[in-house]
Amino acid sequence: MPAKIELFDPPMCCPGGLCGPAIDPVLLDLNEAILRLKKEKGIAVERYLLSQQGKKFMENPEVLALLQQHGTEILPATAVNGHVVKTKNFPTYEELKQWASEPAPITQGASA
């Protein structure tokens, strides 16, 4: 089963952040990495905006705890199979590719 990758984006002017007169090259690279991952590996990456999908931020206990401790400065946050693996920066294509091929992480308290 492929990994579930979710990006919890910081507040942006539009979904994806690819609007306006000055497009952030980091967001352009991220968009290309997501498209490439889907094309090459068949992996979809879900992205959520705090202003539009706030419920998704509240449904992930790790993301919610990070927001409560650090505020929106901790965003973007990347979660793989529900566990936060990166904060404050968007993932690279190489990171996404690596996470997409990893098995689901073992959660604390899980028995073998």
In this structure, is residue 83 part of a structural domain? Answer: yes
Q: Which pLDDT does position 108 carry in this prediction?
A: 38
In this structure, is residue 9 part of a structural domain? Answer: no
- What is the number of structural domains in the chain? 1
In this structure, is residue 12 part of a structural domain? Answer: no
In this structure, is residue 93 part of a structural domain? Answer: yes
In this structure, is residue 32 part of a structural domain? Answer: yes
Gap between the Cα atoms of 2 and 15, Å rounded: 25
In this structure, is residue 3 part of a structural domain? Answer: no
- What is the reported pTM? 0.82
Q: pLDDT tens digit string along 53-93?
A: 999 999 999 999 999 999 999 999 999 999 999 999 999 99
Can you give the CATH number for the domain in which 63 is found? 3.40.30.10
In this structure, is residue 18 part of a structural domain? Answer: no
Domain around 29: 23-101
pLDDT mean over 49-53 = 89
Gap between the Cα atoms of 25 and 100, Å rounded: 23
Gap between the Cα atoms of 56 and 21, Å rounded: 29
pLDDT band for position 13 (50/70/90)? low
